[in-house]
Amino acid sequence: MGKKHYSVGLWDIKTMFKCSVVMFLIGGLVTLSFYYRNNNQEAINSKDKVTLSTMTTSKITNDDENTNRITITKTNKRVFDHQRRLKLAPLSLTDTCDLFSGRWVHDNNSHYPLYKEDECPYLLGDLACLTYGRKDSKYQQWRWQPHGCDFPRFDGKAIVERLKGKRLLFIGDSVNRNQWDSMMCMLHSSIPGKKKVSLGGTLNNTLYTFRAIVSPKFPFAPSALLHLLPQKSFFSFKLCDQLVIDTTQDYNISIDYYWAPMLVESNGDDPSNHRLDHRIIRIKAIEKHARHWVDADILVFNTYLWWKLPIIKLLKSPGSLLGGPNQVYDEIDNLRAYKKVLETWSKWVHIHIDPAKTKMFFMGLTATHSRAKDWGGKKHGSCYNETEPVMEDGFWESGTNQQMLQILESLLSKLKAKGVNVQLINITQLTQYRKDAHPSVHRKLWSPLTDAQKKNPESVSDCTHWCLPGVPDIWNELLLAYIFPINPPTNK
């Protein structure tokens, strides 16, 4: 299956590159703004302002007079949390119901789609399937129905309220970027009032930044921003409202995306220019990317598609991952490499992330519907021209590697045993059914199709990514159900 798959990846990246070049400057503004934020972060569940910042903590040791007051604040917080748990337990839906076991129900009276394709300014053409000629829109109308319970509807207004002042960071490959796009569209449509939108660009082709502001003003002068830009592949979306004088009206939400398709350093790290025919990584080198992840309130990881080539090269020599005469490497099979990289990642998480401050999630593997034979379709068919999900319970397409899911699950439970909870958002099964939900040929093309390709559209179909609005919106609803597992108290 390899080939088709990777050419899609290339197209994806180049599209991103093209778009971002244009929008370089404004982009800079954005990323900066979250660098300016101080580290005051409250526990995500608590809307009440209990400031327990790193700064106050250091004051405790230096300033005797403040000790009492600060200790009291801390104690209060604990009591508060304790009380809340007592009061609200066991209301958490995610504790009592398996949200990932269920079926798709067509429901054209439901609240899907959550937004309209042409009302979302972040789709950049590549996921906006109707714009690129898709004629059917039924794929937008499916509701995920867990077997054991009802799934909470996305309540945009409540979610933006609860995300105020938070930074949500997606890290991973282009499927995670797909989900980040979806999250931006969902939140964008939930912000009331007039909106002005800026799409931002790149620094050295590696930094991508997006921002939506409710007002036309930027918070910082461009010159102050540019030299603070990180070197890597950042994408950011920030919601704020500079015009509203009452600061409680300011959303100040950052929705960011960091391109790290294999989490550790790899020859895929340049989002616009990377080799697709082989993978070479430094299996233990994660810090260069990961240092940009530490100050988020919510981290959402994925990594999967790039591990599907059977052999992964582990670079042993110093020097560039991009080649050179003296490269020394071991070749190992992809499953062993996947396990090793997750070990590197979990070590990093264990050391650097405080689970009390930062919620962490790992997205499950997603299906790629490139073999129609899997569902009894045409011999050389793919997701091309598919307009209905597979309805057979437990359907599994042959490209999804069950072993990789098991490796991921086992790593996450080892982490949990050490007290670090990274919640698996187990979307693997629910994506299996949705052969109808990929862009196939309804996407921006990097180069015009040749005659041979036109005759054989199956071969140029993108069956990896997902049309928006669509399936990733449901992933985000599930994610949000875990980020905010209990409903806010009705009276404050």
- Applying CB under 6 A, the residues found at the interface with ligand NAG are 37-38, 40, 100, 106, 108, 165, 203-204, 231, 247, 250, 252, 385, 409, 424, 426, 428-429
- Which member of 20, 174, 182, 254 is catalytic? 174
Nearer to ligand NAG, 232 or 465 (CB): 232
Q: Is 174 in the active site? A: yes
Least Å distance, CB 42 to ligand NAG, is 8
Neighbouring residues of 70: CB distance < 8 A, sequence distance ≥ 6: 56, 57, 59, 60
Least Å distance, CB 229 to ligand NAG, is 7
Least Å distance, CB 432 to ligand NAG, is 8
- DSSP string spanning 121-154? TT-TTTS-TTTTT----GGG-EEEEESSSPPPPP
Quote the DSSP letter at residue 184. Answer: H
Quote the DSSP letter at residue 450. Answer: P
Nearer to ligand NAG, 6 or 386 (CB): 386
Quote the DSSP letter at residue 428. Answer: H
Grouping H, G, I as helix, E, B as strand and the rest as coil, residue 178 is: helix
Least Å distance, CB 250 to ligand NAG, is 5
Quote the DSSP letter at residue 307. Answer: G
Are 427 and 366 contacting, i.e. CB atoms less than 8 angstroms apart? yes
Radius of gyration of the chain (CA): 23
- Which member of 5, 289, 292, 465 is catalytic? 465
Instruction: List residues bridging with 488 in a β-sheet.
Output: none
Instruction: List residues bridging with 236 in a β-sheet.
Output: 256
Least Å distance, CB 39 to ligand NAG, is 8
Nearer to ligand NAG, 68 or 204 (CB): 204
Are 370 and 5 contacting, i.e. CB atoms less than 8 angstroms apart? yes
Are 367 and 389 contacting, i.e. CB atoms less than 8 angstroms apart? no
Cis status, amide bond into 469, omega within 30 of 0:
yes
Nearer to ligand NAG, 167 or 314 (CB): 167
Four-point Cα dihedral 414, 419, 423, 426, nearest 10 = 30
Least Å distance, CB 332 to ligand NAG, is 26
- DSSP string spanning 330-392? EEEEHHHHHHHHHHHHHHHHHHH--TTT-EEEEEPP------GGGGT--TT--STT--S---S
Q: By Cβ distance, which residue is nearest to ligand NAG?
A: 429
Nearer to ligand NAG, 73 or 137 (CB): 137
- Structure-token match 């890290």, residue found: 171
Strands 298-301 and 359-363: parallel
- Which member of 250, 269, 270, 462 is catalytic? 462
Q: What is the largest distance, in Å, between two alpha-carbon atoms of the chain?
A: 79
Give CA–CA dist 55/388, Å, rounded.
Answer: 55
**How many other β-carbons are positioned within 10 Å of the β-carbon of residue 61?**
8
Least Å distance, CB 294 to ligand NAG, is 14
Nearer to ligand NAG, 160 or 424 (CB): 424
Q: Is 462 in the active site? A: yes
Least Å distance, CB 369 to ligand NAG, is 15
The residue type of 168 is L
Q: Is 272 in the active site? A: no
Catalytic residues: 174, 462, 465
